[in-house]
Chains A and B, each alone.
Chain A
Amino acid sequence: MDKKELLKHIQSLASQQLITKDEVTSAFDAGIRGEVPDEVSRQAGISHILYYIGGAVVFLGISVLIWQHWTSLNSATKILSTLGSGIASYIAAVFLSREERLEIVSRAFYFISALVMPLGLHVTFYLAGLDTGSHGVQSIVSGILLVTFLFSYFVNRKTVFLLFNIIFGTWLFFSFTSFLVGSRPNFDWEFSAYRVLCTGLVYALLGYYFTTTSHRALTGALYGFGVLCFLGAALALGDWKPNQNWFWELVFPGLVFGVMFLSVYLRSKAFLTFGSLYLIAYIFKITSEYFAQSLGWPLVLVLTGLGLIAIGYLHFNLKRKYLS
């Protein structure tokens, strides 16, 4: 049923007084909030997954074609079959998205272009004689992709473009900072941990921003990856005895409890789940790092077990009380 038919149907039902204005507006509001009837949601979910699997299979096909015939294909064919396919998929998606009923199919084609274009750019730069593994080339590739999809987003404000922008933006951030730093002696693994920490924080902030926009579909994933990166990096920065970092080891429980209580405010299960998991990891880390020798391993295990029970209780209660 297309939009015109639907509106006519509503009009017909309204004329027969079978539907009220409140019912229509409440259904509209529920749709805006992202609530979809179970049956429709399941069917749409399956078809969406199939579209994206199809897109990934197309990408695999192109990759295997290039890999198998690398020596026999000439440079123009290599570029045409990778970068050309990426651009062609993008153009196809633009045309498909003009037709409302093909809008979802167009996302699959955007997905193909987002997968194939990086491959195409890598092949093109490689054939131009550049070292595609270098941070400079990685920055250029990710920069081109980010600009392309940012421009696409400003022309057509689709959620799928935002997703690609976040991925390519993260890629550019890591590549460009690595390009700046190179192998300088003052920048060791902690430098990467701080970058992951920042990435996590940015994801969580963007997720929060999207909650009141039409892109709220991204919020759950951004919260999940955000808290995973943020707490993971904070835990790693604590390091291990005798190289431990006191600041991060002391601050970490505060961060975890902050995340767990934010889960109530943000109504985010990802915050609560990852907060609980990281608290468990922290208890294991601290007990084995500092108390295994002094208290003895069996007693440490008993204390850790009790700690886990407490976390489980807290997790269950918070989820039941605030997130169900």
Chain B
Amino acid sequence: MSSKKNISLIIGIAIPIFMIFLIAISIYLPSLFAPAPQFNFLYVTEDGYGQNRRYGVENGALVKYEVKYPEHYTPRAARLFIHDVSRNTDQEVSFEEAQKLKLDANVKSPDGYEVVYGSREYGFFPLFFSGEYDYNTMYLKGHNASKKLELESSNDGRYYYRNRSFLGWIR
């Protein structure tokens, strides 16, 4: 058998292995060199009815808005959390406590990180998507790295589409 044919076999087997290594490196290598995130952030779960939000940030402080709901509609309780980025843990706070915080409502933190939702997962069968539809997973993304955030979800254990809202970085 010619060596040219053997090369095609070697390259054919090497391509998927190389791609797996490349993916693993592209995931784990940037996180080794990315600076540790410095700023904790405030977020809220189950906030809003349509486009209306109950909480927002004005002049660096948390504010509460009046939202008019239809009759017989009971909104889910919105809960406020401070996320500690170094320990990847949450601490629930009241509105009064959160009001005392100095917030930066920019999408990007001063040290170059942002809180984003994960993308849709793509598997093998069917080819372009899988049974995993975890749209609610959020990541701390920045400096070509991303870290999965352990955040609180809905308070009644039910599935709601993208039920968290980022409010601001704590200065």
A191 interfacial contact with B, CB 8 Å? yes
Q: Which B residues are in CB contact (< 8 Å) with A177? A: 19-20, 23
Q: Which B residues are in CB contact (< 8 Å) with A202? A: 12-13, 15-16
Q: Which B residues are in CB contact (< 8 Å) with A174? A: 123-125, 127
**Which of these, B9, B118, B132, contacts A133 with CB under 8 Å?**
B132
B137 interfacial contact with A, CB 8 Å? yes
| Best-buried of B118, B134, B141 by chain A (most CB within 10 Å) | B118
B81 interfacial contact with A, CB 8 Å? no
Rounded to whole Å, the gap between the CB of B169 and the closest CB of chain A is 18
**Chain B, residue nearest A178 (CB):** B123
Q: A178-B130, A181-B27 are in contact. Are A211 and B124 (CB under 8 A)?
A: no
A208 vs B8: C-alpha distance when bound (angstroms): 7
Segment from A6-14, A192-200, A281-289, A293-301 that makes contact with B: A192-200
B43 interfacial contact with A, CB 8 Å? no
Q: A185-B117, A185-B118 are in contact. Are A138 and B123 (CB under 8 A)?
A: yes
Rounded to whole Å, the gap between the CB of A148 and the closest CB of chain B is 18
Rounded to whole Å, the gap between the CB of B79 and the closest CB of chain A is 23
B160 interfacial contact with A, CB 8 Å? no
A211 vs B2: C-alpha distance when bound (angstroms): 11
Main SS class of interface, A: helix
B116 interfacial contact with A, CB 8 Å? yes
Inter-subunit contact B121/A178 (CB<8 Å):
yes
B55 interfacial contact with A, CB 8 Å? no
A213 interfacial contact with B, CB 8 Å? yes
A30 interfacial contact with B, CB 8 Å? no
Q: Which A residues are in CB contact (< 8 Å) with B41? A: none
Number of interface residues of A (CB under 8 A): 40
How many residues of B sit at the interface, in one of the four size bands? 35 or more
Q: Which A residues are in CB contact (< 8 Å) with B137? A: 182-183
Rounded to whole Å, the gap between the CB of B21 and the closest CB of chain A is 10
Inter-subunit contact B19/A195 (CB<8 Å):
yes
Q: Which A residues are in CB contact (< 8 Å) with B116? A: 185
Inter-subunit contact B128/A192 (CB<8 Å):
yes
Q: Which A residues are in CB contact (< 8 Å) with B132? A: 133-135, 183
**Which of these, B6, B12, B15, B119, contacts A185 with CB under 8 Å?**
B119
Q: Please provide the chain B residues from 124 to 168 with a CB less than 8 Å away from any CB of chain A in the complex.
A: 124-125, 127-128, 130-132, 134-135, 137, 139, 141, 144, 146, 148
Q: Please provide the chain B residues from 70 to 129 with a CB less than 8 Å away from any CB of chain A in the complex.
A: 116-125, 127-128
Q: Which A residues are in CB contact (< 8 Å) with B119? A: 183-188
Q: Which A residues are in CB contact (< 8 Å) with B23? A: 177, 180-181
Q: Which A residues are in CB contact (< 8 Å) with B1? A: 212-213
A270 interfacial contact with B, CB 8 Å? no
A192 vs B128: C-alpha distance when bound (angstroms): 7
27 contacts between A and B (CB under 8 A): A135-B121, A138-B123, A171-B124, A171-B125, A173-B20, A173-B124, A175-B123, A176-B20, A177-B20, A180-B23, A180-B24, A181-B23, A181-B27, A182-B137, A183-B118, A183-B121, A183-B132, A184-B139, A184-B146, A185-B141, A185-B146, A187-B119, A191-B122, A195-B19, A199-B16, A205-B8, A211-B5
User: Using a CB–CB distance below 8 Å, which chain B residues touch chain A?
Assistant: 1-2, 5-6, 8-9, 11-13, 15-16, 19-20, 23-24, 26-27, 116-125, 127-128, 130-132, 134-135, 137, 139, 141, 144, 146, 148
